Structure 1
Amino acid sequence: MCRLFTIASFFFLFGLFAQVNTVQTVYFEFDKYSLKDSQIKALISLVNSIQLSQFEAIQLYGYCDDRGSDYYNDKLSINRVATVQKILLSNGITQNKIFICDGRGRVIIDKDTVKNLEKTRDKNRRVELIFIKNTTYTTFPVNPKVGDLIVLNQITFDMGSSILSFKAKKELDKIFEILKNHKTLRFEIKGHVCCTSNKFTDAIDEETQNRNLSVNRAKNVFNYFRSKGISPYRMTYKGYGNRFPLGKGDEFDRRVEFMITKL
């Protein structure tokens, strides 16, 4: 167990200081979701060293090694994310900065082909912190990077509707061609609404009569890409309601955006 802790601590510190405040990694001991005091101090030091105003959001993704059942490791990865989230919230990070907390369970490996099995497993017991920079594009970038936010003025919706217009589909077709050339790129589709009262965070979808319009807008884009052949494993979708107006008028707030989450 001491040997495992030494390795985990080494990788934890390497993850903190070898990268440039975009993706950081916290490593865990086998079958644990708690952190040692030294790891907690290093994570707090990282938080204190970052200029949070430069980042739009933080995403947390938890993983486990390949041992054990899917059910057990799904819960363990979620608990690891919760541990990191609690430390962030206790040290000045507000909840609205943490957009995604996702436990992704086991990292499957081929034990017969991996050169250093234990070292690989050590690396897979982790939580990744992705700090999303405030980099916004109005066209899909030629060389996208993790954290890029793409806001396309051609992909907007009628009031109260989640139906994709002909103009929106033409724009999505252009993005589809780009996605074919970036086969490993993963992204989140972010749905938005305008014009709701302060009492509500989302609007009613006229097609379903449910108050989840921003979710349905993002979901319809997800389904459109899926119908074109983009793997659903490359995409996620989420509704953000009325929390992030652009300040350019209601028409531009009835929108979807794309955030690059992995290359």
Structure 2
Amino acid sequence: MKITLALILFSFYTVNAQQKPVETIYFEFDKYDLTEKQISVVSNFIKNIDTSKVESIQIYGYCDDRGNDEYNFRLSNNRANTIQNLLVKKGFNQSKIVILEGKGRVVVKTDTVENLYETRLRNRRVDLIVVKKNSFGKGVYTSFKDNLKVGDKIYLESILFDIGSAKLTSNSKKELDKIALILQKHRSLNFEIRGHVCCTPEIYSDGIDRDTKERRLSWNRAKTVFHYLISKKVSKSRMTYIGCGNRYPLGKGDNYDRRVEFVITKI
């Protein structure tokens, strides 16, 4: 691949279980400014995307493996900021950019990589992760509605947690009080409570609960909701709970990943 083509490459592919489209912009070595051709590509991206269907965008910057960590974190942040500034300048709504982060250098084992030059070329980049509205799939709802089916998921934005905490906020308790009343009216409804976390390194599957010091934060969040509903006269025989760790980010920002969901298991 010629370097002139690689520098303006704008690729499309999908990642993880949510099938989130990723647009990638590649940078020259040790640079965070853009050429005119790269600016044109970003402009075309904005023209071609239906912003009314975009829930959010996450921007992540990267560097190749050369240089020290401090310098590369700064460079990767500058690359991410360059793309954000261009998007906003071209008319993209900045409020939809929920994550802006430099990830630093992508470490590779130079003695095991078949084509080190092209590998480093691909690692000097910014990824734009585009999350479309209602992209969570069929059977995902934001309230306990009528005519639910086994397997349906209910995600409630009012039931969120503070960083590192499994304690319920006052708003979460108010929402759970409403849910308890609904569940008391629909006594045949059984469900699983699933806890989630944000902001944990990829090498870990769960976060640390700052109260218990255990790396079981998602489990503890689900367990907290389980016991709160029991205190509101919801039979524990109708409920189970599990921790899902950091495996299922919503793509709406870290705040929304500190959550629980309800999965219907029996009607």
Candidates 167, 170, 175, aligned match of 1:159: 170
> Do the aligned partners of 1:59 and 1:98 also contact (CA within 8 Å) in 2?
yes
Q: Counterpart in 2 of 1:172?
A: 194
Q: Distance in 1 between matches of 2:259 and 2:122?
A: 35
The residue type equivalent to 1:138 in the other structure is Y
Q: Distance in 2 between matches of 1:153 and 1:22?
A: 23
Q: Is 1:225 aligned to residue 218 of structure 2?
A: yes
TM-score by length of 1: 0.57
User: 1:236-259 CA deviation, whole Å, 9 max, x = no partner?
Assistant: 97347xxxxxxxxxxxxxx9478x
Q: Counterpart in 2 of 1:93?
A: 92
User: 1:203-251 CA deviation, whole Å, 9 max, x = no partner?
Assistant: xxxxxxxxxxxxxxxxxxx9622878877799797347xxxxxxxxxxx
> Do the aligned partners of 2:218 and 2:244 also contact (CA within 8 Å) in 1?
yes
Q: Is 1:83 aligned to residue 87 of structure 2?
A: no
> Do the aligned partners of 1:24 and 1:128 also contact (CA within 8 Å) in 2?
yes
Which structure has the bigger radius of gyration?
Answer: 2
> Do the aligned partners of 1:75 and 1:103 also contact (CA within 8 Å) in 2?
yes
User: 1:44-92 CA deviation, whole Å, 9 max, x = no partner?
Assistant: 0110111101111111000000000000000000000011001100111
Q: Counterpart in 2 of 1:69?
A: 68
Shift in CA distance, 133/150, structure 1 to aligned 2, threshold 3 Å: farther
Shift in CA distance, 21/171, structure 1 to aligned 2, threshold 3 Å: closer
Candidates 254, 257, 260, aligned match of 1:238: 254
> Do the aligned partners of 1:4 and 1:29 also contact (CA within 8 Å) in 2?
no
Shift in CA distance, 150/121, structure 1 to aligned 2, threshold 3 Å: farther
Q: Counterpart in 1 of 2:52?
A: 53
TM-score by length of 2: 0.56
> Do the aligned partners of 2:205 and 2:245 also contact (CA within 8 Å) in 1?
no
Q: Counterpart in 1 of 2:36?
A: 37
SS at match of 1:171: strand
Q: Distance in 2 between matches of 1:50 and 1:132?
A: 12
SS at match of 2:218: helix
Q: How does 1:166-205 map to 2 (within 5 A)?
A: 171-172=193-194
SS at match of 1:72: helix
> Do the aligned partners of 1:5 and 1:29 also contact (CA within 8 Å) in 2?
no
SS at match of 1:93: coil
Q: Counterpart in 2 of 1:126?
A: 125
Q: Aligned-pair distance for 1:185?
A: 11
Q: Counterpart in 1 of 2:102?
A: 103
RMSD value, Cα: 4.4
Q: Distance in 2 between matches of 1:40 and 1:186?
A: 37
Q: Aligned-pair distance for 1:23?
A: 1.0
Shift in CA distance, 41/29, structure 1 to aligned 2, threshold 3 Å: same
> Do the aligned partners of 2:194 and 2:244 also contact (CA within 8 Å) in 1?
no
Identity within the alignment, %: 36
Shift in CA distance, 155/117, structure 1 to aligned 2, threshold 3 Å: same
SS at match of 1:32: coil
Q: Is 1:115 aligned to residue 118 of structure 2?
A: no
Q: Aligned-pair distance for 1:6?
A: 3.9
SS at match of 2:90: coil
Structure 2 unaligned spans of 5+:
143-152, 161-167, 181-191, 207-214, 221-241, 262-267
Q: Distance in 1 between matches of 2:68 and 2:244?
A: 29
Q: Distance in 2 between matches of 1:233 and 1:74?
A: 25
More helix by share: 1
Q: Distance in 1 between matches of 2:204 and 2:23?
A: 19
The residue type equivalent to 1:151 in the other structure is Y
Candidates 138, 142, 166, aligned match of 2:141: 138
Q: Aligned-pair distance for 1:112?
A: 1.0
Q: Distance in 1 between matches of 2:54 and 2:72?
A: 30
SS at match of 2:114: coil
Shift in CA distance, 225/78, structure 1 to aligned 2, threshold 3 Å: same
Structure 1 unaligned spans of 5+:
140-148, 177-182, 188-221, 241-254, 259-263
